[in-house]
């Protein structure tokens, strides 16, 4: 009788104290880049949890913003600038009466018409800014590939652009969508996609859902959500979302995400509102939406919620593609331009190819 080895469950499902650097699935080039910044292992536990007073949570989020910002800056400092791209800024008035900066990037050698993107940055809808260097770089790279990219500086729940809880950021994204739609001809945009990663993936999907509710879904030709942060109940770790346990504290963790959830929706009144947490969208919400790509990262706690949303889209009859970037942590294909140039470039190509496929319809 042959003895068959029982495979070890992946990540922290099989080894509860597994560190990202020791996970055999991780790309060693990514681990080396993370190790230089101390990101290849879990950091110390947060000094507070999501039940702390809101002002303490906002202060903690601001500290996290500074820490992530310094790390992201370090990862791109040595990269050469992107050539062949121009950028301008427009300031518009949002539906709430607030000013919103839009950063417009395009190829210097413009064509008559090309695919366009409304880009929504990450940070859990709470931290970060479209003006941050890593997002400027991302928009430049997409523009160099042959797209018009408009980054929206939406209001955050905390940090340097806070404190503005839900639905302030979503309202700003909707205002940006309307402005880009109104100016498609001037911008030289053929078809428009909405895209973002992490919290930007949340707002990408929420903007699409709200556009449908508002009778504006025709303004969006396609949706490309990367590692979307859309579940919202990160203390639960349900069985259908095993990656929340499998990959917890691999670069990001459930404790941090739970804090950001509370800052974004302080009273919890929107815990199952699909416009705040798109994971909770039902078939009626999704039916009739434009084509989607849901791209996730293998070693991300958020992996399975993105894949579940992809499955919901298919069940609702929406044209959808699911994509998993192996060997990478949360947003690793967006962050590690220097260490993983082929992986980064593959995602740029996929976004551009998706947008171009819509333009050929």
Model confidence pLDDT, tens digit, residues 8-59: 899 999 999 999 999 999 999 999 999 999 999 999 999 999 999 999 999 9
In a domain, 39, yes or no: no
User: What residues contact 127, with CB distance under 8 A and at least 6 apart?
Assistant: 61, 62, 64, 65, 68, 156, 157, 158, 159, 260
Grade residue 3 by pLDDT with cuts at 50, 70 and 90: low
pLDDT, residue 8, reads: 84
Q: Write down the pTM of the prediction.
A: 0.96
Grade residue 111 by pLDDT with cuts at 50, 70 and 90: confident
In a domain, 2, yes or no: no
In a domain, 335, yes or no: yes
- Rounded to an integer, the average pLDDT of 240-263 is 97
- For residues 80 and 161, the answer to whether their CB atoms sit within 8 Å is no
pLDDT, residue 257, reads: 97
Alpha-carbon span 224 to 3, nearest angstrom: 45
Both structure tokens of 27: 């790309």
Per-residue pLDDT at 297 exceeds 70: yes
- Rounded to an integer, the average pLDDT of 278-287 is 98
Sheet with strand 189-197: strands edge to edge: 85-93, 99-107, 148-152, 114-120, 189-197, 222-226, 292-297, 320-325
In a domain, 41, yes or no: no
What's the total number of domains in the chain?
Answer: 1
In a domain, 49, yes or no: no
Grade residue 1 by pLDDT with cuts at 50, 70 and 90: very low
Alpha-carbon span 339 to 342, nearest angstrom: 9
Per-residue pLDDT at 210 exceeds 80: yes
Our CA angle for 331, 334, 336, nearest 5°, is 100
pLDDT, residue 162, reads: 85
In a domain, 53, yes or no: no
Per-residue pLDDT at 361 exceeds 50: no
CATH code at position 253: 3.40.50.1820
Grade residue 136 by pLDDT with cuts at 50, 70 and 90: very high
Model confidence pLDDT, tens digit, residues 162-190: 899 999 999 999 999 999 999 999 999 99
In a domain, 106, yes or no: yes
In a domain, 98, yes or no: yes
Per-residue pLDDT at 4 exceeds 70: no
Alpha-carbon span 120 to 113, nearest angstrom: 22
Both structure tokens of 301: 């706690």
Grade residue 91 by pLDDT with cuts at 50, 70 and 90: very high
Both structure tokens of 186: 């001037």
Both structure tokens of 242: 């095993």
Q: Which domain holds residue 337?
A: 66-359
pLDDT, residue 57, reads: 98
Of 335, 346, 350, residue with least CA distance to 30:
335
60-85 CB burial, b ≥16 within 10 A, e <16: bbbebbeebbebbeebbeeeeebeeb
Model confidence pLDDT, tens digit, residues 231-243: 999 988 999 999 9
């Amino acid at each position: 009788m042959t003895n068959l080895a029982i495979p070890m469950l992946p990540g922290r499902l099989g080894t509860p104290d597994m560190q990202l650097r020791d996970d055999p699935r991780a790309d060693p080039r990514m681990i080396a880049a993370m190790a230089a910044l101390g990101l290849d292992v879990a950091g110390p536990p947060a000094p507070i949890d999501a039940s702390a007073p809101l002002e303490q949570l906002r202060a903690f989020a601001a500290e996290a913003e500074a820490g992530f910002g310094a790390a992201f800056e370090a990862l791109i400092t040595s990269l050469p600038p992107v050539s062949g791209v121009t950028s301008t800024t427009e300031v518009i008035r949002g539906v709430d009466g607030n000013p919103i900066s839009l950063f417009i990037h395009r190829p210097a050698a413009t064509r008559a018409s090309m695919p366009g993107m409304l880009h929504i940055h990450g940070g859990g809808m709470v931290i970060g800014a479209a003006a941050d260097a890593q997002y400027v770089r991302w928009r430049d790279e997409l523009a160099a590939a042959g797209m018009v990219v408009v980054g929206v500086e939406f209001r955050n729940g905390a940090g340097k652009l806070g404190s503005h809880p839900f639905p302030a950021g979503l309202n700003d994204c909707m205002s940006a969508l309307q402005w880009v739609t109104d100016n498609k001809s001037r911008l030289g945009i053929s078809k428009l996609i909405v895209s973002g990663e992490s919290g930007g993936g949340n707002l990408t999907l929420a903007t699409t859902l709200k556009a449908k509710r508002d009778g504006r879904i025709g303004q969006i030709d396609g949706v490309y959500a990367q590692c979307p942060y859309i579940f919202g109940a990160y203390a639960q770790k349900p069985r259908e979302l095993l990656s929340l346990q499998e990959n917890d504290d691999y670069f990001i963790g459930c404790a941090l995400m739970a804090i950001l959830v509370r800052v974004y929706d302080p009273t919890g009144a929107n815990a199952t509102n699909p416009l705040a947490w798109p994971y909770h969208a039902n078939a009626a919400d999704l039916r009739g939406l434009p084509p989607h790509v849901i791209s996730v990262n293998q070693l991300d706690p958020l992996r399975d919620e993105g894949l579940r949303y992809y499955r919901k889209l298919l069940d609702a009859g929406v044209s959808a593609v699911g994509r998993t970037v192996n060997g990478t942590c949360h947003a690793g294909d967006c962050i590690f331009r220097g260490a993983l140039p082929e992986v980064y470039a593959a995602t740029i190509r996929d976004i551009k190819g998706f947008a171009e496929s819509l333009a050929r319809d």
